[in-house]
Amino acid sequence: MQARHEEWMAKHGRKYKDDAEKALRFQVFKANSELVAGSNADGTKKYHLAVNKFADLTSEEFAARYTGFKPAPPGPKMLPGFKYENISLSDADEQGIDWRTTGAVTGVKYQGRCGC
Protein backbone atom coordinates (compact mmCIF):
# COMPACT_ATOMS: atom_id res chain seq x y z
CA MET A 1 0.00 0.00 0.00
CA GLN A 2 2.92 2.35 0.71
CA ALA A 3 4.18 1.88 -2.86
CA ARG A 4 0.69 2.59 -4.20
CA HIS A 5 0.59 5.79 -2.20
CA GLU A 6 3.98 6.86 -3.56
CA GLU A 7 2.79 6.19 -7.14
CA TRP A 8 -0.41 8.10 -6.47
CA MET A 9 1.57 11.04 -5.04
CA ALA A 10 3.78 11.15 -8.15
CA LYS A 11 0.78 10.93 -10.49
CA HIS A 12 -1.09 13.76 -8.75
CA GLY A 13 1.91 15.92 -7.83
CA ARG A 14 1.35 15.65 -4.09
CA LYS A 15 4.07 16.84 -1.74
CA TYR A 16 3.57 17.09 2.00
CA LYS A 17 5.18 19.59 4.37
CA ASP A 18 6.77 16.94 6.62
CA ASP A 19 6.84 13.24 7.50
CA ALA A 20 4.01 13.63 10.02
CA GLU A 21 1.70 15.11 7.36
CA LYS A 22 2.74 12.37 4.93
CA ALA A 23 1.97 9.66 7.51
CA LEU A 24 -1.45 11.18 8.21
CA ARG A 25 -2.27 11.46 4.49
CA PHE A 26 -1.12 7.88 3.95
CA GLN A 27 -3.61 6.68 6.58
CA VAL A 28 -6.42 8.64 4.89
CA PHE A 29 -5.33 7.33 1.46
CA LYS A 30 -5.27 3.77 2.82
CA ALA A 31 -8.75 4.08 4.36
CA ASN A 32 -10.18 5.57 1.16
CA SER A 33 -8.51 2.87 -0.97
CA GLU A 34 -9.99 0.17 1.26
CA LEU A 35 -13.42 1.80 0.99
CA VAL A 36 -13.12 1.79 -2.83
CA ALA A 37 -11.98 -1.86 -2.90
CA GLY A 38 -14.75 -2.94 -0.52
CA SER A 39 -17.43 -1.17 -2.52
CA ASN A 40 -16.22 -2.66 -5.79
CA ALA A 41 -15.94 -6.17 -4.30
CA ASP A 42 -19.56 -6.01 -3.12
CA GLY A 43 -20.80 -6.87 -6.61
CA THR A 44 -24.30 -5.52 -6.03
CA LYS A 45 -23.57 -1.93 -7.02
CA LYS A 46 -24.40 -0.57 -10.47
CA TYR A 47 -21.30 1.61 -10.37
CA HIS A 48 -17.55 1.20 -9.94
CA LEU A 49 -15.44 3.41 -7.69
CA ALA A 50 -11.81 4.37 -8.33
CA VAL A 51 -9.07 6.16 -6.42
CA ASN A 52 -8.79 9.73 -7.71
CA LYS A 53 -6.94 12.96 -6.94
CA PHE A 54 -8.97 13.41 -3.74
CA ALA A 55 -7.91 10.10 -2.17
CA ASP A 56 -5.80 11.72 0.57
CA LEU A 57 -8.69 13.87 1.85
CA THR A 58 -11.20 12.89 4.49
CA SER A 59 -14.88 13.28 3.65
CA GLU A 60 -15.03 16.34 5.88
CA GLU A 61 -12.01 17.96 4.21
CA PHE A 62 -13.45 17.29 0.75
CA ALA A 63 -16.81 18.78 1.71
CA ALA A 64 -15.19 21.87 3.24
CA ARG A 65 -12.91 22.52 0.26
CA TYR A 66 -14.99 21.58 -2.76
CA THR A 67 -18.69 21.69 -2.00
CA GLY A 68 -19.03 25.08 -0.36
CA PHE A 69 -20.39 23.29 2.70
CA LYS A 70 -20.02 25.36 5.86
CA PRO A 71 -21.27 23.68 9.01
CA ALA A 72 -23.64 25.85 11.00
CA PRO A 73 -22.40 26.93 14.40
CA PRO A 74 -24.13 25.18 17.29
CA GLY A 75 -27.20 26.81 18.77
CA PRO A 76 -30.06 28.77 17.24
CA LYS A 77 -29.26 31.15 14.40
CA MET A 78 -30.78 34.57 14.86
CA LEU A 79 -29.96 37.94 13.41
CA PRO A 80 -28.70 40.49 15.94
CA GLY A 81 -31.40 42.75 17.29
CA PHE A 82 -34.31 40.52 16.27
CA LYS A 83 -36.56 39.12 18.98
CA TYR A 84 -39.75 37.21 18.31
CA GLU A 85 -41.40 38.82 21.32
CA ASN A 86 -41.15 42.17 19.47
CA ILE A 87 -43.55 40.87 16.80
CA SER A 88 -47.24 40.31 17.28
CA LEU A 89 -49.86 39.17 14.82
CA SER A 90 -51.69 42.45 15.33
CA ASP A 91 -48.71 44.11 13.61
CA ALA A 92 -49.77 42.42 10.38
CA ASP A 93 -52.14 44.43 8.25
CA GLU A 94 -53.79 43.27 5.07
CA GLN A 95 -50.41 43.34 3.32
CA GLY A 96 -48.70 41.14 5.92
CA ILE A 97 -45.39 41.76 7.65
CA ASP A 98 -42.21 42.81 5.87
CA TRP A 99 -39.80 40.59 7.78
CA ARG A 100 -36.85 42.60 6.45
CA THR A 101 -37.94 45.66 8.43
CA THR A 102 -38.22 43.64 11.64
CA GLY A 103 -34.67 42.34 11.32
CA ALA A 104 -35.81 38.73 10.98
CA VAL A 105 -34.28 38.34 7.51
CA THR A 106 -31.93 40.29 5.28
CA GLY A 107 -32.75 41.72 1.88
CA VAL A 108 -32.29 39.84 -1.38
CA LYS A 109 -28.66 39.32 -2.36
CA TYR A 110 -27.14 38.50 -5.73
CA GLN A 111 -25.87 34.92 -5.55
CA GLY A 112 -24.19 34.70 -8.93
CA ARG A 113 -24.56 31.27 -10.47
CA CYS A 114 -25.26 29.63 -7.12
CA GLY A 115 -27.75 26.81 -7.62
CA CYS A 116 -27.76 27.05 -11.40
pLDDT in tens, 6-48: 999 999 999 999 999 999 999 999 999 999 999 999 888 888 8
SS3 letters for the chain? CHHHHHHHHHHHCCCCCCHHHHHHHHHHHHHHHHHHHHHHHHCCCCCCCCCCCCCCCCHHHHHHHHCCCCCCCCCCCCCCCCCHHHCCHHHCECCECCHHHHCCCCCCCCCCCCCC
Ranges of each domain in the chain:
2-66
The pTM for the full model equals: 0.58
Architecture of domain 2-66 in CATH?
A: Orthogonal Bundle (1.10)
